Structure 1
């Protein structure tokens, strides 16, 4: 998606350790008009798929998933929580994921009442690198008995194995910007 690639070139900041900082438009300060264009593109890429819900993970995935929902007929968005809360009640799906950027393990939780066996879901998230967060969400989907129609990613680090591994497992992964490489010294970003 050229619009997203151009925005990454303009406002993305490359840090050591293969970290791309896009907090000025994607995952801290939110460019809702850009989110809307992204949602429209995912709807085009997943056209013809049955979508009952969108599944994401807190917190960066929530905004893009909610905006994308409008393009999928305003389907509900369910997000996996990374923290316990007194408001969490009833039976829950739980799994552990490791955050690439934060370097820590989170337990993620989805209330069982929000994913019904046989439903069709699209999983949406902001980044795909190693695939840890997505694999956690896919474990929850398997346990819930929902059908994953596809995975929508804003930015995929194509030089890391997450996307390739998911595609080899048969998932339709639609990344709107795929990075071939990043150079922290020059700030250069190359796209697939």
Structure 2
């Protein structure tokens, strides 16, 4: 998605440790018009796949999930990283390691919102080594829900997550794939068809 690539080039900041900071438009301050275009792009890719739910992990994927769900006219769900007092009933749980924060989370989702027969589109802001996606895939498996696809705003193509998911047979749609990210700020994007 050229619009997203251009925005990353203009406003993204490369940080040590293979970190790409996009907080001015994607995951702290939100450019809602850009997020709307991301949602539309995911809709174009999966509109014929019978999607019944959009699922992400809090917090950075929530805005993308909401604007994608708006296109599909289906609910947006997010797995919570912290157990709160207002979670009741039975829960799906999975352990996820955060690449950015360097710690493990037990993510939870109420069983009343995801069921066998649901066709799910998983979405998130980044895909690096794929640990968050593996947690969401685990939750979908526990629910008996079918994963129709995985929508990613920015994939770090030089890390293993996207390749591993594709090798396992998942349809992964990444709108911007970065194949090289140098500390001098230079980014090389993968050409997409």
TM-score under structure 2 normalisation?
Answer: 0.97
Q: Which residue in the other structure is 2:172 paired with?
A: 173
Distance 1:36 1:77 in 2: 14
Separation in 2, partners of 1:13, 1:151: 25
> Pairwise mapping of residues 55-134 of structure 1 onto structure 2 (< 5 A)?
55-72=55-72, 74-134=73-133
- Separation in 2, partners of 1:63, 1:24: 14
Show CA shifts across 1:98-121 (max 9, x none): 000100000100000110111111
Q: How does 1:148-187 map to 2 (within 5 A)?
A: 148-184=147-183, 186-187=184-185
Output the CA distance in 1 between the equivalents of 2:91 and 2:38.
30
Count of matched residue pairs? 190
Cα distance, 1:129 vs. partner? 0.2
**Alpha-carbon distance in 1 for matches of 2:48, 2:171:** 13
Specify which of 177, 186, 189 is matched with residue 188 of structure 1: 186
- C-alpha displacement at 1:68, in angstroms? 1.0
Return the alpha-carbon distance in structure 2 between the equivalents of residues 71 and 127 of structure 1. 20
- The separation in 2 between residues aligned to 1:151 and 1:143, in whole angstroms, is 17
1:50 matched residue in structure 2: 50
Q: Give the unaligned 5+ runs of structure 2.
A: none
Q: Given the two structures, how large is their TM-score scaled by the length of structure 1?
A: 0.98
- 1: CA distance, partners of 2:43 / 2:60: 19
Let me know the Cα RMSD of the aligned residues.
Answer: 0.6
Q: 1:47: how far off?
A: 2.8
CA distance in 2, matches of 1:57, 1:101: 14
5+ unaligned residues in a row in structure 1: which ranges? none
Q: Distance in 2 between matches of 1:45 and 1:53?
A: 15
Cα displacement (A) at 1:167: 0.4
Runs of 4+ residues over 2 Å off in structure 1: none
